[in-house]
Amino acid sequence: MGSYTKQTWTDLDPTTPISGARLTHLESQYDAAMADVAAAYAKKPLDQGVIYVAVSGNDSFDGLTMGTAKATLAGAVAAIGTSSGRIVMGTGNIPGGSGVVFPAGFKASVVGQGQSETTVVMTAQSGPALDFRSVGYSFDGSEVGDFGILGDGVANSANKGIAFSPTTSNSKLFVHDIIVSNTGGPCFDFGNLELCDLTRLYAKEPVSAAASNIAYVTATGAFNGNTIDGLQLYGVSSGANVGASGAVIIKDNGSTAPHDNHFRTAKTENLHLASGATIFAIAGNTNIISDTEFFDWQKVSGATGTSYIRFTVPGGGVNTGGNVVLGVIPGKGTGATDLDMGIDMRQSGNRVIGTKGYRGTNVIIASGITGIDVDLGGAVSGATDPAVIDNSGSSFKNTLRDASLGVFAGSSLGPRRFFSGRWYGPANHNLGTLNAVLNQEYAVPIYVPNTITVSALAIDLVTVLASSSVRLGVYANDTSRDCPGTLLLDAGTVNTATSTGIQSITGLSLTLTPGLYWLAATAQGAGPVPVRGITGSLDPVAPTSLLSTTAEINCYYLNSISGALANWSAGALASTINGPKIMLLVS
């Protein structure tokens, strides 16, 4: 509206007609007022107004209607300047040139007709396609969305899709429904956004993503209080397309760490991870990652150290932890290209809550990491491997629950890591003497927290007994009953007829992966044989009949085992309050 056309008046009430000089006076007053409005609008037409961009437009047009639209997004930005209002792009391919720089003071919203209807197409890109890094605080509260960006396909980390300021914290933006593809740099660089809604953003694989270690999405420093909802990451190539640093990198800037962001319902498709790569790399505090849909991803052949989420310590002394992961927690499957772990936990003070995904190794806790709480209260079918590998070396400083295996690590199950050259046994320190009944096989539980090789088994003989021996062995856990299952090793017998003290069987080589196992001992030849025993409870042993005493259960047993160790599946379980102290040596 830049001019006013004089109107023809019609008197709608002929009973009291307005005519003559009076009518002429009213007409002239109205026409003068409307002309003033039109003139004012022509002088400052854009406050709360719209500048249009269309394929059929021309940058010499005023852009005030779709019929007089600008031809380029840069032309629309120049026209609207620092006025409020909206830039509306029509359908089709909108020229983006080498990049559109939004000036300081820019405050208008920028929208299209839909991410598949409007596409900003770049040629000879020399920086971010849409560069909001200089806009300042004026941009707060604006909307950016409903269009796509097609980069020029040149491998250059500076050629991002959309970039926000790494120093100025824009807030309350609504960034939504944008698909970015074919860029040389990250599709989205959120910079220091605060308190923004970032919704349904679709990041397609950047050019040379793995080879140049280019992330799909980044944010740095004071990226705080944002909701990132429905983020989608899509790989295009069949080879490696996620570099070692990660697909989504949220990290500190040396003095400020990202915090209090909520990543919700993210989706991944066709991602192929190189060695050491992760999908989400988080170096921040009190962030939440929930309900992520992890599927259609794999590592490239021969890759190691891959993960879905990796938490690391932010720099600059701004580490407080407190991050939370919620949902189905993915793990390591059995295929050669399955990722190596679910969560690579290299930061203390974080929590993981949800259901155990296939097949296990859902969380690996790094050396020295404490205050971790993992609670996996369920499991998909076949998730039979331990959920948590605790390499922290910090006994009883992490709380780890794997309900599918009946394991609550950190209770009475034992240390967090077994070390070479050390002896380990049931995690119970109440010792006494057990008169091991002749031909009664005892089995006590032991939780192995990391992969080991057993080189020896031993018991402590209290009193010599002529013509006697004790047979020792190791069983896997029967997860259907949490009792001895498959016999892994019948190590043979120790001589209990000659001298007291430690009696061992050496020269063994049995590899055990993390999980629950059972150490077995049977007095044979003569009995009872007095050996060092344990008292007090041991998880997960439970009484097989109601006890009338206050004694606690720590051992299952079978009778009539005079030769090789028993097949426990063939016998009924019985429990006792006194089991033998059996030890294993880690080579």
The residues, ordered by sequence, that sit 6+ positions from 275 with a Cβ below 8 Å of its Cβ are 244, 299, 302, 303, 304, 305, 306
Going from N- to C-terminal start, the domains of the chain cover 423-586
What is the pLDDT at residue 137?
85
- Summarize pLDDT for 303-351 with one digit per residue, the tens: 999 999 999 999 988 889 999 999 999 999 889 999 999 999 999 999 9
State yes or no: cis peptide before 401, omega within 30 of 0: no
CB contact at 8 A, 226 and 195: yes
Pairing mode, if any, of strands 501-505 and 452-461?
antiparallel
What is the pLDDT at residue 570?
59
| Widest Cα–Cα separation across the chain | 139
Domain 423-586 top-level CATH class: mainly beta
Q: If DSSP states are collapsed to H, E and C, what string results for 437-500?
A: CECCEEEEEEEECCCEEEEEEEEEECCCCCCCEEEEEEEEEECCCCEEEEEEEEEEEEECCCCC
Phi, psi of 286 (to 5 degrees): 50, 40
- Measured distance CA(444)–CA(532) in Å, rounded: 13
CA atoms 294, 297, 298, 300: torsion sign? negative
- Measured distance CA(386)–CA(205) in Å, rounded: 33
Nearest to 107 by CA among 133, 69, 137, 65: 137
What type of residue is 8? T
**Cβ neighbour number for residue 336 with a 10 Å cutoff:** 10
Nearest to 262 by CA among 287, 294, 291, 281: 287
Which residues in the chain land under pLDDT 50? 1, 40-47, 409-414
- Measured distance CA(244)–CA(474) in Å, rounded: 40
Residue 230 has which token pair? Answer: 């429905």
Nearest to 362 by CA among 323, 319, 403, 397: 403
CA atoms 420, 426, 431, 436: torsion sign? negative
What is the pLDDT at residue 313?
97
Total residue length of the chain: 587
Pairing mode, if any, of strands 515-524 and 469-478?
antiparallel
- Summarize pLDDT for 110-138 with one digit per residue, the tens: 999 999 999 999 999 999 999 999 998 87
- Classify residue 584 by burial, with Cβ atoms within 10 Å: 0-12, 13-18, 19+: buried
- Summarize pLDDT for 145-172 with one digit per residue, the tens: 999 999 999 999 999 999 999 988 889 9
What is the pLDDT at residue 529?
95
Residue 478 has which token pair? Answer: 């029967």
583 pairs with which residues across the strands?
A: 458
What is the pLDDT at residue 451?
86
Nearest to 190 by CA among 231, 227, 223: 223
CA atoms 183, 116, 292, 257: torsion sign? positive
